[in-house]
Structure 1
Amino acid sequence: MKGTIGIVDDQQLFLKTVGMFVDTFPDFQVVLYATDGQDLLTRLRAIKSPPDILLIDVNMPFMEGAELVAKIKEAYPSIKMAALSMMDDSQNVIKMIKAGCCAYLLKNMNPNDLEVALKEIMVRGYYNTHVTNIVYHELFSKQPIDLKDREREFLELACSDLTYQQIADKMFLSIKTVDGYRAALFEKFQVKSRVGLVLEAIRQNLISV
């Protein structure tokens, strides 16, 4: 049985183009299109079975992506949601992840990568572009990462919308010292970005969202 996909985006051409690509994937089919948050909520109420995965634009009229994600998470907890955006800044990424998205996808990604992302979301419940080895995840589920107090403090602040300079100020440290904590946690979590760090911290229940 194919995984079902819903897509919401206010740009009609992009909406249909993504849908066209998804429908070429052998394991997936698009069952719902919507042009904004209210349109999506109306359509979800009208269908018998909600889609397995929703691809949700970050910036839309009437209702921002994060607000829409939070509403869907409460009303339809079984739906997995992935953000779609042209922006890759940490503030937007963290906001969407905290709202309930299990992935953050860029609109200029390769269609093959989109197919991989959808498969990862269906099988594992999330997609992290910087994690490629499933054995690594199985290992970490058995061996939790040991964090020092200051590393844990940095991790919690890194999962907020604060800049690294603001984190340094809040921790009463130099930016160089904070960069050291960042590098150490990137190494411990085997990630290459702040986004990857946030996703791993959420997955391992080290922070709550």
Structure 2
Amino acid sequence: MPLFSSRPQSNTTPNLTFIGPDAHGTIYIEDARGIRTPFFAVTVAKHSKPSLSVNRILPSGHQAPFFTSHTSSLSGASRINLINRASEIKVEVSYEGMQLRRGFHAPMGKLGWFPSGNSGCNQKLKDKNATVLAKLTANIGHSKEPRLELLVPCDDYLVDLIVATGMAVYRDTVKEVEQVGKVSKVIGGVFGG
């Protein structure tokens, strides 16, 4: 059963929508009627490699390894190992103008996740022509669950690339927001804020 819709849709209707991870580390796929099905199980390790491990939840309830990821604390680059594809993706941090970019190579050329909005928590995945392929809405620190929407028809490999890099970008963004919060608390304590 394919994971994607090959029929053309407008950018306002995502081809696929993933919701989560929730408090239990589950990511759901949501259909057009809003019905959610558990699809991925996420494990985050704070002090070991890989720092992020994601398994597919099979219809039987068993889990199959999907990908692992680890982000370098020095360069900010992430190494993603797509287990079922036996391939590694390197997501590199750079700046395009004044805008942060997390870029990686795909069969159709270089793709990049860019912050969307003021908080930097929301991200858009763009190709070299600035076409938005997916968007990640992540209200970190709020009760609303993250949403990853694939906006264009994709083959299974591109779905895997978007989901894996999107989840890694989300995890890195969560870590960055947590670090900024800690620094702000220390500065506030020093200056009596």
TM-score normalised over the length of structure 1 = 0.25
Q: Which has the higher contact order (CA 8 A, sep 6+)?
A: 2
Higher strand share goes to which structure? 2
Higher helix share goes to which structure? 1
TM-score normalised over the length of structure 2 = 0.27
